[in-house]
Structure 1
């Protein structure tokens, strides 16, 4: 079966997305200017707007790109794990290194986008909301699977613990980025590990 080769326009769009993904994820939507985009891509303003309607469309495409990169990274780590608990324990191990090259440059795209787009960009807010709800659903599924397999207590409330896991992860990311206190990262991820072990 033949795979279609992307045409020039699709390749240019993808090039713009890949080159600007680290900028949007680091500087945010408001902080990223069209000049940043042209500087990163070495393309003219006309070329950018020839491939995207506006900066909003670039930002949304970039968020989806960064989110997909994060999801692939998590899926790769979880693919070698057999149990629900092992799959959940991938999170503290991965987020211990959220400042490394493993992650999209700028850290977690969900948190970055959710914080900035809260009141200023309803479209970005909506896709960030969908991403976090999908993540929550996945955690609920894994916790319930673990309960079925007697890895976790039958009294564990999956919905409550899933939200707690997300809150601890995203709160850690925000705290470390805000304070620069990377020395707290290990202890916070150990707390997440203990939470999962005690489910």
Structure 2
């Protein structure tokens, strides 16, 4: 990695939590200058605009979440354990594994009517997560671990909708307790699908 690439990555990593916490519109380049200790000219030498930096930060935060999910699921062996691991990543909205909360929720809510490119990135991440859940369930059905009647697509939609809603409610109410109810309910449903 060249010095310029390292500096660019530093800017993204340092500003990612700010964008994820304050939002795309509310984060100012002065916020980025403060956290990176760089002058405005230095920042614009690496990103032509705040929008360009925003896109890089959204990619970074989404990839960080995808990586956390991948690590958790990758460490599990059975379909049940993989699904449980997936849910556990989202189980504590107040201690979310990406600083500032869930980037799918944060950026998706802000960009749904204002930024088609970021909306597309978030949509692709949600659909990819649903596809991952479907794949785990289908593999579990194929191995005989899960019932053939387990509706993978419906369950994947339910998981994503409930964990994202639970994340919002947990962060607004400043508690993990309601997400615990959701995760426990989804885990119980998985248990009922085991052969």
Q: Same fold (TM over 0.5)?
A: yes
Partners of 2:94 and 2:176 within 8 A in 1: no
Alignment equivalent of 1:168, drawn from 150, 162, 166: 162
Give the match for residue 3 of structure 1.
Answer: none
Consecutive unaligned residues in structure 1, runs of 5 or more: 1-5
Q: Secondary structure at the match of 1:156?
A: coil
Partners of 2:17 and 2:100 within 8 A in 1: yes
Q: Secondary structure at the match of 2:43?
A: helix
Partners of 1:83 and 1:146 within 8 A in 2: yes
Consecutive unaligned residues in structure 2, runs of 5 or more: none
Alignment equivalent of 2:29, drawn from 9, 30, 34: 34
Number of aligned residue pairs: give it.
Answer: 193
The alpha-carbon deviation at position 80 of structure 1 amounts to 2.4
Give the match for residue 54 of structure 1.
Answer: 49
Alignment equivalent of 1:141, drawn from 132, 135, 138: 135
The TM-score normalised by the length of structure 2 is 0.92
- For residues 99-178 of structure 1, the aligned pairs below 5 Å read 99-100=94-95, 103-178=97-172
2:101 is the alignment partner of 1:96: no
Partners of 1:92 and 1:190 within 8 A in 2: no
Runs of at least 4 residues of structure 1 off by over 6 A? none
Q: 1:24-56: CA deviations, max 9, x gaps?
A: 111110111111111111111111111012111
The CA RMSD over aligned residues, in Å, is 1.5
CA–CA distance in 1 between the matches of 2:152 and 2:8?
A: 40
The alpha-carbon deviation at position 126 of structure 1 amounts to 0.9
CA–CA distance in 2 between the matches of 1:147 and 1:99?
A: 34
CA–CA distance in 2 between the matches of 1:196 and 1:46?
A: 53
CA–CA distance in 1 between the matches of 2:124 and 2:78?
A: 26
The TM-score normalised by the length of structure 1 is 0.91
Partners of 1:20 and 1:62 within 8 A in 2: yes
The alpha-carbon deviation at position 93 of structure 1 amounts to 2.1
The alpha-carbon deviation at position 78 of structure 1 amounts to 2.0
16-25 or 186-195: bigger deviation: 186-195
CA–CA distance in 1 between the matches of 2:86 and 2:62?
A: 15
Alignment equivalent of 1:191, drawn from 171, 179, 185: 185
The alpha-carbon deviation at position 145 of structure 1 amounts to 1.0
